[in-house]
Structure 1
Amino acid sequence: MPRHTPYDGSTKPFTIALKTLDPNEWIELGADLETCLAEKDRLYAAVPDKVFVEEAGTRAAQQEVLDMLVPYLAGRFPGTYRRSDTGIEILGTGRHVATDSTELPPLRTASLLVPEDLILMRGSKDGWRLVAGSLCFPSSWSLGEKFGHTLQDIHEPVPAFGPGTRTAGMIQRIFDNLLVDQPVQRFNWSLQAGNVLFLPFSQQQRIDRATNRPSKFSDDELAAQAFIRVERQTLRRLPNSRDILFTIRIYLDPLAVLSRHPDRASIAASFASQLAALDLAQLDYKGLTADRDRLVAVLGKMATTT
Structure 2
Amino acid sequence: METKVSTASPSVNTPYAPAPSSNAPDHVNLGPGTYEYLPLKIPFRMTMGIEPLEMEDWVEIDVFYDEEMTLRREILETRKEVAIVSRPEAADANWEVLEMLAEFLPQRFPSRFRREGSMLFDLTIGDTYDINDKSLDPLEVIARLIQEDVCVMMKVDGKLRLVSGAVLFPQRWHLLEKMGMDMRSIHLPVPLYADVIGSAVDHFMNRLKVDKPVWRANWAIVDDPTLFQPLNEEDIYAALQGNVKNNFDFQNHNGDVGSRLYTRCERETLVRLPRSGAILFTIRTYIRPLTVFESRPELAKQMVRAMQSLPDSIAKYKTMAGFYDVALEYLQRCAAQSTG
Q: Which amino acid aligns with 2:73?
A: D
Note if contact 2:39-2:217 (Cα within 8 Å) is conserved in structure 1: no
Secondary structure at the aligned position of 2:322 is classed as: coil
Of residues 181, 187, 199, the one that matches 1:169 is 199
Residues 1:213 and 1:132: Cα distance change in structure 2 (over 3 Å): closer
More divergent stretch after superposition (284-293 vs 178-187): 284-293
Q: Is it true that 1:234 corresponds to 2:264 in the alignment?
A: no
Q: Which range moves more in the overlay, 237-246 or 102-111?
A: 102-111
- Does the 8 Å contact 2:37/2:267 carry over to 1? no
Q: Report the Cα distance in structure 2 between the residues aligned to 1:277 and 1:214, rounded to whole angstroms.
A: 24
Mapped to 2, the partners of 1:8 and 1:157 lie a distance apart of 21
Partner of 1:258: 293
Partner of 1:112: 144
Hey, what does 1:205 align to over in structure 2? Answer: 235
Listed one character per residue, the Cα deviations across residues 82-119 of structure 1 (whole Å, up to 9, x for unaligned) are 12466322223333344343333222222211100010
RMSD: 1.9
The 3-state SS of whatever aligns with 1:73 is: helix
CA distance in 1, matches of 2:138, 2:160: 21
1:129 partnered with 2:161: yes
The 1:30/1:12 distance shift into structure 2, 3 A limit, reads farther
Question: 2:223·2:260 contact (CA, 8 Å) conserved in 1?
Answer: yes
Deviates further, 18-27 or 211-220: 211-220
**Structure 1 contact 54–133 (Cα < 8 Å) conserved:** yes
TM-score by length of 1: 0.92
Q: If the length of structure 2 is used for normalisation, what is the TM-score?
A: 0.83
Aligned residues: 301
- Whether contact under 8 Å (2:262, 2:290) holds in the other structure is yes
Measure the CA separation in 1 of the matches of 2:44 and 2:103. 35
Matched residues in 2 for 1:254 and 1:237: separation? 34
Quick check: 5-14 or 41-50, which moved more? 5-14
Q: Distance in 2 between matches of 1:13 and 1:295?
A: 21
Residues 219-298 of structure 1 aligned to structure 2 (within 5 Å): 219-220=253-254, 221-260=256-295, 264-298=296-330
Structure 2 counterparts to residues 49-64 of structure 1, below 5 A: 49-64=81-96
* Alpha-carbon displacement from aligned partner over 1:144-181 (angstroms, at most 9, x marks no partner): 1101111110010111113xx24111110111110001
Paired with 1:12 and 1:89, the residues of 2 have a C-alpha distance of 45
When residues 216 and 287 of structure 1 are mapped into structure 2, their CA distance, relative to the original with a 3 A threshold, is: farther
Secondary structure at 1:16 match in 2: coil
